[in-house]
């Protein structure tokens, strides 16, 4: 929930980020630019 509140991203983006971190994943292919606001996540557009 910290990501959801602190970075003002939608719930699904925060949830996906937490799941990615739990699996040591730091790259996501997405059109959602909110991922660029988060630390330790690299977004690439598909």
Cα separation, 1 vs 29, whole angstroms = 22
- Per-residue model confidence as pLDDT tens for the chain (46 residues): 566 667 778 888 888 988 999 999 999 999 999 888 888 899 999 9
pLDDT for residue 23: 97
pLDDT for residue 19: 93
pLDDT for residue 13: 87
Q: List Cβ neighbours of 39 (8 Å cut-off, separation of 6 or more).
A: none
pLDDT for residue 33: 92
pLDDT for residue 3: 63
Residue 43 zone, left/alpha/beta (φ > 0; ψ -120 to 50; rest): beta
Number of domains present in the structure of the chain: 1
Residue 11 belongs to domain spanning: 2-44
Q: List Cβ neighbours of 31 (8 Å cut-off, separation of 6 or more).
A: 45, 46
């Amino acid at each position: 929930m910290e990501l959801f509140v602190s970075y003002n991203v939608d719930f699904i983006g925060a949830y996906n980020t937490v799941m990615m971190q739990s699996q040591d994943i730091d790259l996501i292919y997405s059109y959602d630019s909110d991922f660029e606001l988060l630390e330790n996540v690299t977004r690439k557009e598909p």
